[in-house]
Amino acid sequence: MIAYLTNCNSDFARALRERLLRGGHEVYAGEALSSLSSLDLFVATEDERLSGDDFTVREEIDPEIVMRSVEENLCAPILALEAALPALDKGTLKRVCFITSGAEASVNWSEKTSGYGYAMAKAALAQAARICCNRLYPEGYTFRMFDPLVGRVPPELAAAAAEEIFLCSRAYDPDNLRRTDEARFVLRDALGREWPW
């Protein structure tokens, strides 16, 4: 299997890259996508928490920080996916994965009172990924959203969970109904929990 990670800037992304390599997979990270003739697994590893993105709703929102977070956490992953599509079209797995934070990107469950740039960008990424899924699922693509629980789960354990979630099929499995229904767009975290949108 050929995997592509958009970058290895975090401990989690580096651990995921090492885990995939140990599994015998061919892994590229950050290289020009135009050099890949085919690709099976695309992982958008952008998860940027910008300095200064700690204002609350009672404070003045810094639009520059919000826009930078949107560029890093929404625009960059979607543009990278667009660049990867020609290679993914020729792959066999056609799996697209996005790194996010369930606790902050979930409109229903977020209890954060600061960090709005990050939260808004990740909530928008969830919606953009859903639109991509709606468009590409009929062409054989499958999608995953994953929260590595940064700071709460060691990167190596989060990478192990990500590998299992990214590579397993969600086709019908009577022994594990949580993995059933590939058509359902699901956000899971490193502990296997499903987060509502």
Express each pLDDT in 62-92 by its tens digit.
889 989 999 999 999 999 999 999 999 999 9
Closest CA to 185 of 193, 194, 177, 172: 194
Q: How do strand 26-29 and strand 187-189 relate by DSSP bridges? A: unpaired
Confidence band of 108 (pLDDT split at 50, 70, 90):
low
Q: Which domain holds residue 80?
A: 2-195
Of residues 25 and 118, more confidence is placed in 25
CB-based contact 45:11 (threshold 8 Å): no
Q: Is 135 exposed, middle or buried (0-12, 13-18, 19+ CB in 10 A)?
A: exposed
Q: Is the pLDDT of residue 172 over 60?
A: no
Confidence band of 31 (pLDDT split at 50, 70, 90):
confident
Q: d(Cα 135, Cα 169) in Å, to the nearest integer?
A: 20
Closest CA to 40 of 30, 29, 26, 19: 26
Confidence band of 173 (pLDDT split at 50, 70, 90):
low
**Which tokens is 102 given?**
């369930």
Confidence band of 102 (pLDDT split at 50, 70, 90):
confident
Count the domains in the chain. Answer: 1
Q: How do strand 194-195 and strand 187-189 relate by DSSP bridges? A: antiparallel
- pTM of the predicted model as reported, rounded to 2 decimal places: 0.90
CATH number at residue 89: 3.40.50.720
Q: Is the pLDDT of residue 151 over 80?
A: yes
